[in-house]
Amino acid sequence: MSAVRHVRRAAAGAAVVVSVAALATGPAGADRAPTGHGSAFGLSANGPVSVPVISAVASHGKPAERSLVSVPDNPLLSAKVLHTNAEKAKARASVADVLIKKLKLKANAVTAKCTQGMGSVDLVAAELDGKRLAVSPSPNSALHADLGPLGKATVTLNKQTRNADGTLTVTAVEARVPVAGKMETVTISSATCGKEQAAQPAPQKPGGPKAPKPTPVHHDLPVTG
Amino acid sequence: MEGFLLHATRAVAGASAAAGLIAVAATGCGSSGSAASADEPSSASGAAKARPVSAAQLARLPQATTFGTVRGAPVDPEPSALLDGTVLHPAKDTAVYDKPGGKPIAALPAKQLKGPTWVPVIAEKAGWRQVLLPSRPNHATGWLPGGGDVKEATSSYRIDVSLKQHRLTVTDGGRKAGSWPVAVGTGKNPTPTGRTFVLASLSPSHPTYSKLIFPLGTHSNSLDRFGGGPGTVALHGWPDQSVFGRDVSHGCVRMPQKALDTLASVPLGSPVQIV
């Protein structure tokens, strides 16, 4: 609850903060995400090397879109052309020319899509340590890489997390890599969406007799043709 | 085609005034409670108690009919949300309130357009039911207290109208009962959107363009009156198939004649969703 409130206060000033908080915590149960929520971000890294959330968008009914052509220089990863968009119950994040040197992870394009609370991932020419990765990996596909003396890394493809408010977060690639003796978490292409509230039924009340078939009555009413 | 439409609406214009009088007369003779001051405070806590309304007071209230306007009526809070098919029929003319335990704002007649009044339930609170009203303004609602002479039933039917796709679909228990291309309102006189309901099933005395007409609980937002009527939007047949798929009407939804048989089975009060 407090995280969400914080996000709402901060929203006017910093769109990046909005997505960071919303995606990191998910709106609390009592303060549910609005119907048709959608948000996305291109990439982020948390750990010894900090790359802030890049190309974040959030939509609460209105379409939002963002594109960037590069990420800030850093020793961990590089990428070009980050495109994110979000609209009602829909979000998409795509990052091109991804390279995480330490992991030998590269891809021409990494895309996460979320539609009506359902997620999918597309990986174009993605490789981990020289091995080609599936174009459409199954949800939560975990891969492990031994980096020798540096330690072991874990790469999760198509990571799907159901949030407390019912929205789904799909992350195309999440890598946990040892850096300087600590774990670094790199997130590439993440999209979060809820279901458009198509059915919000009125009072579900089983029972009650079946409403009668009407008997047409002989009557005239001028209507709007 | 336009000339045909105008001719058709003029042909039935003479009867509308009579219909209005009938509706008003019917509402004026009922009573929904014992005499009490209209200023009597309501019991709004817990199970809210209905403020009694005398027959005389009821007669002075605006009529919740397709001819009436209920000012101050709560607006449907979620016009795009679906309804579950719960429908109510007041066995006698009944006061409608602005909130549970609130003040009376309208009289819902037991009959209108010569048929029984059935209205859909959109919410419940403290034993009260909030219903859509057939009167202006569009999306007007009111609250009915529990108990009393109100009959409850469930309609398994639902009608969806897509203005963009020019299509009307009827489902029964979630299964498609029929789907047809339709004609809808023009840009100047659009078919109003949101949830409404089947108000009546009418067999016109001169079925110029449709053997059955199904007035809805909604009105044109651009035409205060039309053809002598109150601008009620309806579903009805249309003989010229060339109109289907087009924006040509003054707000009504024109359907192929073959759709009328399916529509004839849809209970009054059944939800209609126009998007």
A vs B: CB pairs below 8 A: 165
Residue B152's Cα: distance from chain center in Å?
17
Residue B1's pLDDT band (cuts 50, 70, 90):
very low
Q: Which residues neighbour A9 within 8 Å (Cβ) at sequence distance 6 or greater? A: none
Dihedrals φ, ψ of A156, to 5°? Answer: -110, 125
A188/A171 Cα distance (integer angstroms): 7
Among the residue ranges A171-185, B46-60, B142-156, the one predicted with the least confidence is B46-60
Long-range contacts of A17-23 (CB under 8 A, 24+ apart): A18/A56, A18/A58, A19/A53, A19/A56, A19/A57, A19/A58, A20/A44, A20/A52, A20/A53, A20/A56, A22/A58, A22/A192, A23/A53, A23/A169, A23/A190, A23/A192
| More confident position, B173 or A36 | B173
Provide DSSP, B183-233. Answer: BEE-SSSPPPPEEEEB---EE-SS-SS-S-EEEEEEE-SS-S-BTTB--EE
Set of chain A residues whose Cβ sits within 8 Å of the Cβ of B227: 222-225
Cα gap B135→B251, rounded to integer Å: 16
Query: What pLDDT is recorded for position B113?
Result: 95
Angle between helices B2-11 and B13-28 (to 10 degrees): 40
d(CA B42, CA B140): 22
What is the distance in angstroms between the Cα of A177 and the nearest Cα belonging to chain B? 46
Q: Is B236 a catalytic residue?
A: yes
A223 touches chain B (CB under 8 A): yes
Most A CBs within 10 Å, among B131, B157, B171, B201, to test the A interface: B201
> To which H or E segment does residue A141 belong?
strand A141-146
Supply the pLDDT for residue B14.
Answer: 30
Distance CA B274, CA B251 (A): 12
Q: Three-state SS string across A74-99, please?
A: CCCEEEEEEEEEEECCEEEEEEEEEE
Which among B15, B82, B267 has the least Cβ separation from residue A200? B82
pLDDT at residue B29, rounded to an integer: 25
Q: Which of B89, B219, B236, B250 is catalytic?
A: B236
Task: Determine the distance in angstroms separating the CA of B36 from the nearest CA of chain A, rounded to an integer.
Answer: 31
Stated length of chain A: 225
Check: pTM over 0.90? Answer yes or no.
no
Q: List average pLDDT for each run of 10 residues in chain A, which is 225 residues long.
A: 28 26 29 64 89 80 79 87 87 93 92 92 93 92 88 93 87 93 93 72 59 94 91
- Our answer to whether residue B252 is catalytic in this structure is yes
Q: How confident is the model at residue B12 (pLDDT cuts 50, 70, 90)?
A: very low
Q: CB B229 to CB A221 under 8 A?
A: yes
Strand partners, B36: none
The answer to whether the Cβ–Cβ distance between B227 and A208 falls below 8 Å is no
User: Which ipTM was obtained for this model?
Assistant: 0.77
Least confident residue range of B29-38, B70-79, B128-137, B150-159: B29-38
Report the alpha-carbon distance of residue B103 to residue B145 in Å, rounded. Answer: 12
Taking contacts as CB-CB distances below 8 angstroms, the residues of chain A near B202 are: 216-221
**Among A191-200, B182-191, B193-202, where is mean pLDDT lowest?**
A191-200
Percent of the residues in chain B that have a pLDDT greater than 70, as a whole number: 83
Report the pLDDT value the prediction gives residue A61, as an integer from 0 to 100: 67
Min Cα distance B12 → chain A (Å) is 6
C-alpha B37/C-alpha A187 separation (Å) is: 68
pLDDT computed for residue A60 by the predictor: 67
Tell me the pLDDT tens digit for each residue of B73-86.
Answer: 999 998 888 888 99
pLDDT band, residue B35 (cuts 50/70/90):
very low
Cα–Cα dist A91/A112, whole Å: 8
**Per-residue pLDDT band at B2 (split at 50, 70, 90):** very low
Q: How would DSSP label each residue in B60-115?
A: HSPB-STT-B-TTPPBPS-TTS----EEEEESS-EEEESSTT--EEEEE-SEETTE
A15-25 vs A2-10: helix axis angle to the nearest 10? 170
Return the structure tokens found at A145.
Answer: 């890489």
Rounded Cα–Cα distance for residues B56 and B68 (Å): 18
